[in-house]
């Protein structure tokens, strides 16, 4: 069995023209592209008859370009930042001199995209990790980009299909971009589909904030690689290991002891609901040390991310229930205590009062009282007939991600990733209800998300 699965690109390209000080092109110059984060030569090429060179399908990252030609000083341009789907163009200018001399350019002016007319915005991994995000879900930061509005009007985006914090119970991506409908956007992770194709409003997996290298929002004038959607293309790219081992651990927590009560609870003399919120995990990445038979060490790199959430919320639920007197036929107000029998059918009320004789209670109603209503506790609220309870809800999360990058040389490189989300929940009062008795309308859900992908260039 053979299955093909095509995805969007998670790479970019670097191109340019080699020139001399007079502006004339320099053919047959050797051009070398080096990944400075991995300390590895990625590609080498030779400039053409018109001095042009091109490095297509380059993984995003930080690079340096070295240009060498007889009769000219070696030219090295560093600090080139290539974001996903970038098409960078520049023209190295060689200086006359010996090749043993080096002209090192540390920084250049911001490069203008001259190869396409795509309207895009890029959010870097540093911004994703360090800007304050309520609930640490990356989608919230989309609102910082031009042309993006949020029809959900919430800062409570959460992982999974349901949310424990206010608003709608369903986690939908309510972003309208450049005036398009919210259902028209296409969400991807590492170029792979990440949107529910039923409603086009819910995500399938939720990459950890600390595992994201960057994400790009393409708002219009798409390249040919983009499709399946009339709205924006949002592509999240995960991190890879570099030449050095880097890692970190974190924990974010909330507790009701740190919270203020809301106005309506205070007015009704209801204490603030309990809350236990712990979000913790860590990342580590670096090189894989391969045996000496491979001659080189900087060939294989790994990155691992683990994230956990342990969120326990408590909600106050209210319902109208019968009093103990009502279960025995005793009422505070006047009711009909007996119905007339007219030709074998129930007729009009024949007597009124506040007590219904046992003999007058319908057997079916008596069974309901015995088997169901007798199990209800007595009302416990100052409001007559109201019962108020505090229910414990659980919203947990675990994500495992591992990514491997390997370079076989300047002509072949591969990377693969495994991402697994498990998001179990328990809503004591019910997902779309607020029933005050645990175990009656209780719901339990899970939103597992699995992603496996391999890219080869």
Cβ(115)–Cβ(109) below 8 Å: no
Q: What is the reported pLDDT for 110?
A: 62
Q: Which domain holds residue 343?
A: 322-376
Nearest to residue 303, comparing CAs of 252, 237, 250? 237
Q: How far is 238 from 245, CA to CA, in rounded Å? A: 17
195/50 same-domain check: no
23/127 same-domain check: no
In a domain, 384, yes or no: no
- State whether residue 322 is helix, strand or coil: coil
- State whether residue 158 is helix, strand or coil: coil
Q: How far is 187 from 451, CA to CA, in rounded Å? A: 14
253/333 same-domain check: no
In a domain, 4, yes or no: no
90/226 same-domain check: no
Q: How many residues does the chain have?
A: 457
165/260 same-domain check: no
* Share of the chain residues as helix, strand and coil, in percent rounded to the nearest 5: 10, 45, 45
CATH code where residue 160 lies: 2.170.130.10
Q: What is the reported pLDDT for 4?
A: 47
In a domain, 256, yes or no: yes
In a domain, 113, yes or no: no
- State whether residue 307 is helix, strand or coil: strand
Q: What is the reported pLDDT for 8?
A: 62
In a domain, 305, yes or no: yes
Nearest to residue 160, comparing CAs of 129, 191, 192, 205? 205
Cβ(81)–Cβ(90) below 8 Å: no
CATH code where residue 34 lies: 2.60.40.10
Last residue of a domain, one of 43, 77, 105: 105
Q: What is the reported pLDDT for 15?
A: 93
DSSP letter, residue 434: -
Which helix (H) or strand (E) segment holds residue 59: the answer is strand 52-59
Nearest to residue 208, comparing CAs of 283, 97, 301? 283
Neighbouring residues of 165: CB distance < 8 A, sequence distance ≥ 6? 135, 156, 158, 313
361/403 same-domain check: no
Tokens at residue 423, please? 């998001």
59/176 same-domain check: no
In a domain, 111, yes or no: no
35/65 same-domain check: yes
139/66 same-domain check: no
Where the chain has pLDDT below 50, the residues are 1-6
Separation of CA 456 from chain center: 25
Q: What is the reported pLDDT for 9?
A: 67
336/440 same-domain check: no
Q: How far is 211 from 248, CA to CA, in rounded Å? A: 11
124/217 same-domain check: yes
Last residue of a domain, one of 199, 219, 238: 238
Number of domains in the chain: 4
Q: What is the reported pLDDT for 230?
A: 80
232/251 same-domain check: no
The angle at the Cα of 133, spanning 131 to 135, to the nearest 5 degrees, equals 155
């Amino acid at each position: 069995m053979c299955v093909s699965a095509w995805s969007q690109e998670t790479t970019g390209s670097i191109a340019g023209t080699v020139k001399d000080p007079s502006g004339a092109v320099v053919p047959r110059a050797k051009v070398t592209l080096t990944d400075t984060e991995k300390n590895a030569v990625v590609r080498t090429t030779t400039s053409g008859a018109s001095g042009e060179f091109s490095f297509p399908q380059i993984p995003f990252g930080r690079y340096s370009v070295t240009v060498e030609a007889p009769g000219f000083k070696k030219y090295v341009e560093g600090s080139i930042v290539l974001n996903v789907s970038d098409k960078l163009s520049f023209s190295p200018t060689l200086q006359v001199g010996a090749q043993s001399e080096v002209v090192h350019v540390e920084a250049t002016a911001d490069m203008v995209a001259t190869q396409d007319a795509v309207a895009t915005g890029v959010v870097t991994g540093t911004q994703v990790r360090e800007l304050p995000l309520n609930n640490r879900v990356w989608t919230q930061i989309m609102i910082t980009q031009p042309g993006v509005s949020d029809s959900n009007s919430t800062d409570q985006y959460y992982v999974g299909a349901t949310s424990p914090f206010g608003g709608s119970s369903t986690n939908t991506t309510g972003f309208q971009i450049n005036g398009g409908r919210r259902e028209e956007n296409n969400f991807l992770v590492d170029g792979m589909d990440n949107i529910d194709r039923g409603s086009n409003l819910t995500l399938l997996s939720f990459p950890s904030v600390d595992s994201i290298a960057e994400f790009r929002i393409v708002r219009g004038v798409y390249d040919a690689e983009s499709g399946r959607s009339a709205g924006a293309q949002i592509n999240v790219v995960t991190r890879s290991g570099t030449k050095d081992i880097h890692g970190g651990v974190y924990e974010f927590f909330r507790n009701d002891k740190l919270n203020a009560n809301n106005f309506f609870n205070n007015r009704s003399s209801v204490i603030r609901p309990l809350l236990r919120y712990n979000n913790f995990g860590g990342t580590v990445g670096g090189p894989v040390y391969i045996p000496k038979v491979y001659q080189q060490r900087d060939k294989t790199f790994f990155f691992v991310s683990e994230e956990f959430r342990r969120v326990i919320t408590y909600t106050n639920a209210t319902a109208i229930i019968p009093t103990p007197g009502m279960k025995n036929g005793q009422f505070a107000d006047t009711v009909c205590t007996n119905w007339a029998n007219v030709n074998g059918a129930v007729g009009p009320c024949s007597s009124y009062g506040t007590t219904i004789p046992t003999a007058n209670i319908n057997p079916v109603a008596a069974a309901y009282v015995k088997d169901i209503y007798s199990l209800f506790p007595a009302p416990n609220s100052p409001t007559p007939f109201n019962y108020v309870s505090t229910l414990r809800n659980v919203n947990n999360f675990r994500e495992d991600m591992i990514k491997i990058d390997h370079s076989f040389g300047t002509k072949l490189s591969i990377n693969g990733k495994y991402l697994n989300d498990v998001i179990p929940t328990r809503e004591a009062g019910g997902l779309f209800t607020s029933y005050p008795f645990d175990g009656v309308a209780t719901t339990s859900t899970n939103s597992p998300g699995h992603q496996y992908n391999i890219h080869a260039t």
